[in-house]
Structure 1
Amino acid sequence: MSEWRIYQAVSEPHDGIDRLPAPPPWRDFEHEGEVTPFDRQSGDGGGRRLPRADAYRAEGRTIEAVNTALYLRRPLLVTGDPGVGKSTLAYAVARELKLGPVLRWPVNSKTTLRDGLYRYDSLGRLEEAGVAHHQRKGKGTGARTDLGRYVRLGPLGTALAPYMLPRVLLIDEIDKSDIDLANDLLDALEEGMFEIPELARVADRLRSVRVRPADDGEPVTVERGMVRCRTFPFVILTSNGEREFPPAFLRRCIRLRLSSLNDIEQLRPIVQAHLAGAADDSEEVIRRFLEHASTGELATDQLLNAVYLMTRTGGEGAPPLDRLATLVFQHLNVTVPTDS
């Protein structure tokens, strides 16, 4: 295997990330300060996505795109139809390179940049301040408020914390966002840092504050209200290609388009990973799936649903495979009558 490939798309996790060379000078975020540890062995944070990440086998151009993003410390913008493995790629990289839980940030039309950076519980802070004031008034003393209790980093904010190794951040379905979010992301992704104003305002008397990360790992130390990364995270942004992005955003990304899964050899390991034991009898279901996919858009989840149902069709009155295909393999880009 080429030494150039940090991510190799292999089944066994390894320490290849330790071979990642120093970044280009314009993407070097190294600085002095406390390092935040994270548990590389804690898995992939995948939950239900773990089986698919386990079976994910990237093609050559995908491997090249991932490694290019790792070397250049740039986000990877992945486009393609639903179900082709855009999100799964993030979990596969995290699993293989042992980069801990994936930090997932699902995006919708109401998502703002601050949602990804941090949350501040202002009401809880005011309530505790009122209690402390009452205690001081009545007794002359009062406990000092721990401001860090009211701040929690979001997925993007956690990814930009001062870790020695890159965290994996999945910004899912960015094309569903408000049109301004891509531009708003530019500064944080370009500079590798951001300010928490609520902490910056008290930096003269409270220099360091420990706050909770999105994954509930080790607390992150924030100095003078600034969160600064030490190494740029591995960022995957997924898009179904529903709209275009501004040129300033695109030129800062490595771009990859994933093709639809259209081969039995690609689909069989996915079925096996999710439904062990069912794959041996699923060849006909996969063929039906591919036939339907040739005439309209389908997602891999629909195949898994059909294989699962097939394993439950031994009982009396169960529908035949033809009927199951009609029920489950309904194209995503057309309206299919439900009574057909």
Structure 2
Amino acid sequence: MEQRFTGGNEYVASAELMNAVNIAITLQKPLLVKGEPGTGKTMLAQAVADALGKRLIIWNVKSTTKAQDGLYVYDVVQRLYDSQFGGHGVDDISRYIKLGKLGEAFAAEEQVVLLIDEIDKADLEFPNDLLWELDQMEFYIPETRETVRARQRPIVIITSNAEKELPDAFLRRCVFHYIEFPDREQMERIVRVHLPDIEEALVEQALEAFYWLRGLRDIEKKPSTSELVDWLRALAAGGVDPQRITEKIPYAGVLLKKDKDLRTLARNQR
């Protein structure tokens, strides 16, 4: 039976995004998701895993991450230590091979969802170094002369914040989707998922102020969905009168994280 993603109880997905997920699953290609921070790129993988009843494996990419890290690591230092101090089994190199996140996804008995999060943080060669593995779903370990092949092809979701342009050869192998920032109607649905009991008037006034703030021309770091949810929690906890919100935004430091943006807000609220 073909697997289909239809969203989740805790994740509000547009029809276009659900279609992109299902196309990627059908074509057995990685889904590359872009969008500004706070649009739910990382949470998508968890939502897909939950909806399809699959385990989620997360590979968090950093500036120092190499493609090899996701395949396997050969702990030569531990082997040397064991050989010096009389450890047993030092001739069995496989004892010192530890699979990375991609290797773990390949070795899993059942199909998993693999999230490669923020791929654009790594150097430019990182995506190219994964082309063979993502195409053929296998890699070779020369130390043990073993080829690790995917037992079940994982559902691969890759996120990018567009910090760097990804190579064309890599892009050709992906299904691409750009997550637009939620409009007001969709944002209200997202808020209701996270805060089902919050006061209606508070949500209405907070959304009015939130989108006005995002529309200010000189705001450098626009507040995201997660910051809106945190702000609503703060407003509710502080017992703020909804009518006050649009006059002077309270707890602005929950929404804005730069001095310049707070000064911009102050100028526009006078």
Measured against the shorter chain, the TM-score band is 0.7 to 0.9
Aligned match of 2:5: 7
Residue deviations 1:180-227 (CA, integer Å, cap 9, x gap):
111111011111111223333xxxxxxxxxxxxxxxxxxxxxxxx221
Residues 1:294 and 2:248 are matched in the alignment: no
Partner of 1:310: 235
Which SS does the other structure have where 2:261 is aligned?
Answer: coil
After TM superposition, give the deviation of residue 289 of structure 1 in Å: 1.4
Aligned counterpart for 1:127 among listed residues 66, 76, 81: 81
- 1:155-174 correspondence to structure 2 within 5 Å: 155-161=101-107, 163=109, 165-174=110-119
Return the alpha-carbon distance in structure 1 between the equivalents of residues 3 and 81 of structure 2. 53
User: In the alignment, is the contact (CA less than 8 A) between 2:34 and 2:161 conserved in 1?
Assistant: yes
How far apart are the structure 1 equivalents of 2:100 and 2:193? 31
Structure 1 residue 301: Cα displacement: 1.6
**Amino acid aligned to 1:7:** F
What does 1:230-269 correspond to in 2, within 5 Å? 230-263=151-184, 265-269=185-189
- The TM-score normalised by the length of structure 2 is 0.83
Instruction: Show the 5 A alignment for 1:1-340.
Output: 6-9=4-7, 11=8, 54-100=9-55, 102-132=56-86, 143-145=88-90, 147-161=93-107, 163=109, 165-200=110-145, 225-263=146-184, 265-278=185-198, 280=200, 281-295=202-216, 296=219, 297-314=222-239, 321=245, 322-324=248-250, 326-330=252-256, 335-337=260-262, 340=266
**Could you tell me whether the CA contact under 8 Å between 2:12 and 2:190 is conserved in 1?**
no
State the distance in 2 between where 1:120 and 1:303 align: 44
Kindly tell me the number of residue pairs found equivalent between the two proteins.
Answer: 254
Unaligned stretches of 5+ residues in structure 1: 12-53, 134-142, 201-224
Q: What do you get for the CA RMSD once the two structures are aligned?
A: 2.7
Say whether the 8 Å CA contact 1:103–1:155 is kept in structure 2: yes
235-244 vs 267-276, which moves further: 267-276
* Closer/same/farther in 2, CA of residues 298 and 126 from structure 1, 3 Å limit: same
Q: 1:337 to 1:293 in 2, by over 3 A?
A: closer
For 2:252, the aligned partner's letter is T
Deviation, structure 1 residue 337: 4.4
**SS where residue 170 of structure 1 aligns?**
strand
Give the structure-1-normalised TM-score. Answer: 0.67
**Regions of 4+ moved over 4 Å:** 145-149, 337-340
Name the CA shift for 1:285/1:182 in 2 (closer, same or farther; >3 Å).
Answer: same
Any idea what SS the aligned residue of 1:78 has?
Answer: strand
Where 2:59 maps in the other structure, the secondary structure is strand
Give the helix-richer structure, 1 or 2.
2
What is the rounded CA distance, in whole Å, between the counterparts of 2:105 and 2:61 in structure 1?
Answer: 16
Q: Which amino acid aligns with 1:93?
A: V
Aligned-pair identity in percent equals 36
CA distance in 1, matches of 2:206, 2:158: 32
Which whole-Å CA distance do the structure 1 matches of 2:207 and 2:10 have between them? 16
Please give the alpha-carbon distance, in whole angstroms, between the structure 2 residues aligned to 1:5 and 1:155: 23
1:231-288 CA-to-partner distances (Å, cap 9, x unmatched) read 321111111223322221111100111100122x322343344345336443322222
Change (3 A) 1:278 1:180: same
Q: 1:183 to 1:312 in 2, by over 3 A?
A: same
